């Protein structure tokens, strides 16, 4: 073996193209060189391993981007270059189990002679190297006890969003992996709706509430998801997508391929588009959207607002959606006329801590109005702020009758309608460049009730569909309680006593 190969043994990015063979999409086998998505995943995992000594990761990706191939290569490499590493791979169906194990077998069967000892066990589900005290096994989700009795250092859960008995597996096979240095748990999947195990795990990781890091891989990072234009010119929607994602690698050729996939899936463009979003998402939030036919706010207006840069000298108004539960967070957003900005999320603040944060904001930023949802715990926040002299604080009961009773079921519907009108007006508007806000603005359905009033989907109905509470979007809607531009009245800041000065700061 030459010197270059010897130095590549420990580095997967060098080892893979020299020693590992993979099945190519176009047919045949070839050297395994990491693509963009695989390189990104590798860098994220290695950074976590260096920082924490172990890997815990959730990977959300589009179809066939090479994520599973990378993880098989990662674990196979560790098994034959170190001792005491036992890997277990759990997939969602028997065919996938066979496919993933076939990758490992291909790696082993095509290794350069003399690179590693002969496997003591090599069958349809297992590779064992006793000299290393290492091994590689696979199983299929379905049997609740699968993998439970294993001693595992490296675990790969494939297409976790499609596992039956996912909760049981999490209590069994995942607990077989210790928290020791060098252990790894990597769970990957395409999205499969909301409210399931993988979605809940993703939400927790995204919000920093678990040991797992959330890694998203957009579909257009794959150069194979592109076709020649053949005279195709981007339409308005595609132009927006290019303006939004071209800096990250999206090309017109990618969009030409996207058109083909959408049209192949359904003659109805909207049905094909919803399929594409789940299978080939631009963002994590888009992947997890539970598609409905009657979305109240069209995504294209939100996308345009995220890209716009607008100046405004209008009065500052602030919207606050209060929450203190573990799952929901208090959302605070500022708006000056056509510009909404500085979205702030408060996690696990109690009522008095929220009051303290809002006092600090009001004293510093001097808004003309602060609109707070006063249903439930928000009422206590409003009462306390008004009690200590903040007259610009206004409680909003979104369940009460609307101003235009003939048009809207309640104030909530009226505020969401104002928000939609604001986004769709001819003059450009600007909102924070935030995926979660985008998703929340575009997640609600609507209908016209028997009295001809607009009725927006309730939070209870949203929860039943597996969707989280739209706290950010609700906070933005609250800023329209006093119209597009808010009040022109400025309220003086109340004077604080010596005792009060230290209460909230």
CB 225 within 8 A of CB 252: no
Q: Is residue 502 part of a domain?
A: no
- In this structure, the answer to whether residues 113 and 152 fall within a common structural domain is yes
List, for residues 99-110, the tens digit of each pLDDT value.
Answer: 888 888 888 888
Show which of 217, 248, 278 is a domain's final residue: 217
- In this structure, the answer to whether residues 194 and 250 fall within a common structural domain is no
List, for residues 327-340, the tens digit of each pLDDT value.
Answer: 678 999 999 999 99
- In this structure, the answer to whether residues 160 and 253 fall within a common structural domain is no
- In this structure, the answer to whether residues 67 and 14 fall within a common structural domain is yes
Q: Is residue 248 part of a domain?
A: yes
Look at the block and give the residue holding tokens 């009758």: 401
Q: Is residue 89 part of a domain?
A: yes
> Which pLDDT does position 262 carry in this prediction?
92
Beta bridge pairs of residue 335:
317, 340
Provide the whole-model pTM.
0.71
Asked if pLDDT for residue 499 goes beyond 60, the answer is no
- In this structure, the answer to whether residues 272 and 178 fall within a common structural domain is no
- In this structure, the answer to whether residues 176 and 252 fall within a common structural domain is no
Select the more confidently predicted residue: 476 or 133: 476
> Which pLDDT does position 143 carry in this prediction?
60
Select the more confidently predicted residue: 140 or 319: 319
- In this structure, the answer to whether residues 277 and 386 fall within a common structural domain is no
Between CA 255 and CA 252 the distance in angstroms is: 5
- In this structure, the answer to whether residues 207 and 65 fall within a common structural domain is yes
CB 70 within 8 A of CB 41: yes
> Which pLDDT does position 491 carry in this prediction?
47
> Which pLDDT does position 292 carry in this prediction?
64
Between CA 91 and CA 68 the distance in angstroms is: 10
How far CA 327 is from CA of 323, 330, 470, in Å, comes to 9, 10, 12
- In this structure, the answer to whether residues 13 and 106 fall within a common structural domain is yes
- In this structure, the answer to whether residues 21 and 155 fall within a common structural domain is yes
- For 269, the domain range is 236-289
Q: Is residue 375 part of a domain?
A: yes
Q: Is residue 223 part of a domain?
A: no
Q: Is residue 32 part of a domain?
A: yes
Q: Is residue 273 part of a domain?
A: yes
- In this structure, the answer to whether residues 66 and 176 fall within a common structural domain is yes
Number of folded domains that form the chain: 3
**Phi, psi (deg, nearest 5) at residue 299:** -60, -30
- In this structure, the answer to whether residues 261 and 162 fall within a common structural domain is no
CATH number, residue 312: 3.30.420.240
CATH number, residue 47: 3.40.50.300
Q: Is residue 499 part of a domain?
A: no
List, for residues 395-430, the tens digit of each pLDDT value.
Answer: 999 999 999 999 999 999 999 999 999 999 999 999
Look at the block and give the residue holding tokens 């439930």: 376
């Amino acid at each position: 073996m030459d010197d270059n190969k010897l130095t590549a043994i420990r580095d997967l990015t060098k080892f893979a193209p020299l020693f590992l063979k993979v099945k190519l999409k176009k047919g045949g086998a070839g050297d395994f060189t990491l693509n963009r998505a695989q390189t990104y995943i590798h860098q994220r995992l290695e950074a976590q391993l260096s920082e924490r000594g172990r890997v815990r990761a959730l990977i959300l990706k589009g179809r066939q981007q090479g994520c599973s191939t990378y993880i098989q290569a990662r674990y196979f490499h560790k098994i034959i270059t170190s001792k005491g590493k036992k890997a277990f791979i759990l997939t969602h169906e028997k065919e996938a189990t066979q496919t993933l194990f076939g990758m490992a077998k291909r790696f082993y069967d095509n290794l350069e002679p003399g690179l590693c000892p002969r496997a003591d066990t090599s069958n349809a589900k297992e590779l064992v190297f006793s000299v290393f005290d290492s091994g590689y096994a696979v199983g299929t989700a379905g049997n609740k006890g699968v993998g439970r009795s294993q001693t595992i250092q490296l675990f790969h859960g494939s297409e976790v969003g499609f596992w039956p008995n996912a909760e049981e597996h999490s209590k069994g096979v995942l607990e077989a992996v210790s928290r020791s240095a060098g252990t790894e748990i990597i769970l990957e999947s395409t999205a499969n709706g909301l409210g399931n195990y993988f979605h809940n795990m993703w939400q927790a990781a995204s919000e920093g509430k678990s040991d797992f890091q959330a890694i998203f891989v957009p579909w257009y990072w794959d150069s194979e998801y592109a076709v020649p234009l053949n005279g195709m010119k981007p339409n308005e929607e595609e132009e927006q997508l290019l303006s939004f994602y071209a800096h990250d690698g999206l090309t017109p050729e990618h969009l030409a391929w996207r058109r083909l996939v959408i049209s192949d899936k359904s003659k109805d463009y909207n049905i094909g588009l919803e399929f594409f979003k789940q299978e080939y998402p631009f963002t994590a939030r888009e992947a997890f959207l539970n598609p409905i036919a009657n979305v109240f706010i069209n995504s294209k207006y939100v996308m345009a607002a995220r890209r716009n840069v607008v100046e405004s000298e209008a009065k500052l108004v602030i919207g606050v959606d209060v929450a203190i539960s573990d799952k929901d967070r208090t959302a605070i957003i500022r708006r000056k006329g056509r510009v909404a900005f500085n979205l702030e999320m408060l996690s696990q603040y109690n009522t008095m801590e929220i009051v303290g944060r809002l006092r600090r904001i009001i004293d510093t930023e001097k808004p003309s109005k602060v609109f707070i949802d006063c249903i439930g715990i928000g009422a206590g926040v409003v009462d306390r702020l008004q009690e200590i002299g903040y007259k610009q604080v206004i409680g909003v009961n979104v369940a009460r009758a609307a101003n235009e009773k003939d048009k809207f079921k309640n104030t909530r519907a009226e505020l969401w309608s104002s928000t939609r009108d604001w986004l769709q007006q001819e003059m450009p508007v600007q909102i924070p460049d935030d995926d979660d806000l985008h998703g929340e603005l575009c997640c609600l359905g609507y209908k016209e009730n028997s009295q001809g009033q607009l009725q927006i989907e309730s939070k209870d109905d949203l929860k039943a569909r597996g969707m989280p509470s739209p706290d950010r979007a609700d906070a933005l809607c609250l800023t329209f309680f006093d119209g597009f531009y808010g009040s022109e009245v400025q309220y003086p800041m109340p004077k604080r006593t010596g005792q009060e000065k230290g209460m909230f700061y």
